[in-house]
Amino acid sequence: MLNVTDLNYTVSERKILSDINFSLQKEELICLIGPNGAGKSTLLRAICGIIPSGNSISLNGENLNKKSEKQRAKEIALVSSFSPALNGFTMEDLLNFSRYPYMNAYRNLDLEESSLKKKLIEEFEIGDFHKRDLTTLSSGEMQRILLACAFFQEPSLLLVDEALSNLDPKVKIKIHRSFKKWISKTKNSLIYITHDINEALQLADRVMVIESGKLKLFDTPMKLLEKKVLDEIYQIDFKYFCEEDGVFVFPKKEEQ
């Protein structure tokens, strides 16, 4: 589905990404973790074509550079942790904008699109924000709208950059279920950046670790639990707790 080969990216003589190589299969949920500034968000921006990637990335068998902007928008959706400035726009406006790759100036949403929009409004529980100016919403409310927009875009690859960080635990669990349901129904894939290691352990089919611009690990979540793996990535010591529903990790308290 997605192939990344020898991807490099440099800014002001600083190498942000260095020799990144991996393949993503259909129907996978990948959690991408690593220290701040490691290059995680840059990798997602390269995959969706926001920054140049040379000929290093192919999606669905075709080089990313050969795809038009509209074609990329049909295949890839990105949800960032940063909400755009959208003064004067409503949720309804934003949802309709997310159909941009499929629309033209003379076409309104058809019955199938309208039905999908209604289902997403219900699924993400955003109906109460229908006519409100987006600038009046909380960051968590806005993130739910942006996630609904990404699903409404109907991509084959969904990229989520820390977009669940402002959600309460109950809503976050619901979004996890939405991720899993979407992957199962569409047979598509998702890459999700998170700093919550326990979330990655519970949610991911595979975990990708980026450190200092390099791909350090791309394997099952259980590989993170091997001796000193997390300690070396984050340069701190971790404690491990085994419970009935899985293994959980927490940083050790520093000695005073």
Residue 209 has pLDDT above 90, yes or no: yes
Query: Given the DSSP bridges, would you call strands 206-211 and 29-33 parallel, antiparallel or unpaired?
Result: parallel
Rounded to the nearest integer, the mean pLDDT of the chain is 90
Residue 256 has pLDDT above 60, yes or no: no
Domain coordinates in residue numbering, the chain: 2-251
Residue 111 has pLDDT above 80, yes or no: yes
Per-residue pLDDT tens digits for 8-53:
999 988 999 999 999 999 999 999 999 999 999 999 999 999 988 8
| Average pLDDT score over residue span 231-242 | 91
Residue 113 has pLDDT above 60, yes or no: yes
| Average pLDDT score over residue span 124-131 | 87
DSSP 89-157: -BHHHHHHHTTGGG--TT----HHHHHHHHHHHHHTT-GGGTTSBGGGS-HHHHHHHHHHHHHHT--SE
Per-residue pLDDT tens digits for 59-101:
988 898 888 888 899 999 999 877 666 777 888 888 988 998 8
Model pLDDT, residue 253:
79
| Average pLDDT score over residue span 164-190 | 93
Q: Number of helices (H) and strands (E), helices first, in the chain?
A: 8, 12
Distance separating alpha carbons of residues 149 and 97, to the nearest angstrom? 8
Model pLDDT, residue 139:
86
CATH superfamily to which 2-251 belongs? P-loop containing nucleotide triphosphate hydrolases (3.40.50.300)
